[in-house]
């Protein structure tokens, strides 16, 4: 190509790039509009609920019994946080250890085996996890702790299986954060006499703290929004209890039960699911905002 032709080609407007840029911009705007649409619908329907129920009662009462007009959301929040906390007790440490192994220790052959297994765990339908919790995890807990201690439906089995569900998410994001740490930090630690374990735990993990914290918070957000596992294994009645071996209905479990039942349109029960959906939206939004703040605060910049 001659110089004049090359200059003409470089200076020529690239219409295909403009088309792609326009498509990407439209997609970004569309995602924002969809989010605002969801908030609008949830807010509009929630107003019908809060016209009949006091917000103070909604957030302070410990009884959720719609049949007698008791709409205290604390039992549902408590059970949701219980299952999510148990899930993170499983997914947090295991996800971190798996990520450290894959990032710092595993050979290419081992990584090629473990990564697909993690992807398979992430691809299993949640309804399968729900039945696994009900038919395997619950009998196992009843065998270990006793049938009189563990109910058939309980938040412990649901939380444990939820931990298995979100394990791939936590491990994958944490591994990416660990791999982003420059190799020069590892080489400096080795040069000072540090071994593999000491370097991984005292150099690499602290340097990737922002990404690890984001992974944990995103995993927690995923656990809070999980539906089918808690709907099948945790229980179908509100119960304000801190005992993980007792049945207790979560926010998402209640939404599934009511939306799939024979509840009439525009009743208190029906409108309550939009109020709970709006509450879930703000909980996950708050967690995402917290995640971004932690990333910005503790993010390390390397030359």
Question: Taking a C-beta distance cutoff of 8 angstroms, is the pair 93, 169 a contact?
Answer: no
Q: What is the pLDDT of residue 276?
A: 92
Between strands 70-71 and 64-65, the pairing is antiparallel
Q: What is the pLDDT of residue 13?
A: 55
CATH architecture of 76-298: Orthogonal Bundle (1.10)
The Cβ-side half-sphere exposure at 254, using a 13 Å CA radius, reads 29
Tell me the mean pLDDT per 10 residues along the chain, length 303. Answer: 51 72 91 90 89 89 86 93 95 93 88 85 90 94 92 94 93 90 85 84 87 91 92 89 93 87 75 91 89 76 57
Question: Taking a C-beta distance cutoff of 8 angstroms, is the pair 165, 229 a contact?
Answer: yes
* 201-220-150 Cα angle (round to 5): 105
Q: What is the pLDDT of residue 198?
A: 86
Domain boundaries, the chain: 76-298
| 199 closest CA partner among 189, 208, 207 | 189
Phi, psi angles (nearest 5°) of residue 70: -105, 110
Q: What is the pLDDT of residue 260?
A: 72
The per-type count for the chain, helices as H runs and strands as E runs, is 15, 2
In whole angstroms, give the CA distance from residue 126 to residue 166: 11
What does 281-302 look like in DSSP terms, one character per residue?
HHHHHHHHHHHHHHHHHH----
Residues whose CB is less than 8 angstroms from the CB of residue 190 and which lie 6 or more positions away in sequence, other chains included:
199
Q: How many C-beta atoms surround the C-beta of residue 64 within 10 A?
A: 22
Using the 8-state DSSP alphabet, how is residue 207 labeled?
A: H
Rg of the chain, C-alpha, whole Å: 24
Token pair recorded at residue 122? 């992430």
């Amino acid at each position: 190509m001659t110089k004049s032709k090359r200059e003409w080609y470089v200076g020529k407007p690239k219409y295909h790039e403009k088309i792609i840029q326009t498509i990407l911009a439209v997609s970004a705007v569309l995602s924002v509009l969809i989010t605002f649409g969801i908030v609008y619908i949830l807010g509009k329907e929630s107003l019908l609920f809060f016209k009949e129920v006091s917000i103070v009662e909604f957030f302070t009462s410990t009884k959720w019994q719609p049949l007698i007009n008791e709409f205290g959301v604390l039992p549902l929040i408590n059970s949701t946080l219980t299952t999510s906390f148990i899930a993170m007790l499983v997914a947090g440490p295991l996800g971190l250890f798996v990520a450290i192994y894959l990032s710092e220790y595993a050979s290419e052959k081992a990584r090629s085996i473990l990564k697909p297994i993690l992807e398979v765990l992430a691809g299993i339908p949640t309804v399968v996890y729900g039945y696994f919790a009900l038919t395997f995890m619950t009998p196992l807990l009843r065998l270990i702790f006793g049938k009189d201690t563990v109910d058939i439906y309980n938040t412990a089995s649901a939380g444990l299986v939820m931990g298995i569900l979100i394990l791939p998410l936590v491990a994958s994001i944490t591994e990416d954060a660990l791999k982003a740490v420059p190799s020069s930090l590892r080489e400096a630690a080795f040069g000072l006499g540090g071994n593999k374990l000491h370097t991984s735990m005292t150099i690499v993990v602290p340097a990737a703290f922002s990404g690890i914290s984001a992974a944990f918070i995103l995993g927690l957000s995923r656990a809070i929004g999980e539906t089918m596992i808690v709907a099948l294994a945790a229980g179908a009645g509100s119960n304000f209890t801190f005992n993980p071996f007792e049945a207790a209905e979560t926010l998402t479990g209640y939404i599934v039960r009511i939306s799939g039942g024979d509840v009439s349109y525009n009743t208190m029960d029906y409108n309550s699911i939009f109020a709970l959906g709006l509450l879930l939206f703000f909980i996950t939004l708050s967690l995402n905002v917290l995640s971004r703040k932690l990333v910005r605060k503790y993010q390390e910049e390397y030359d």
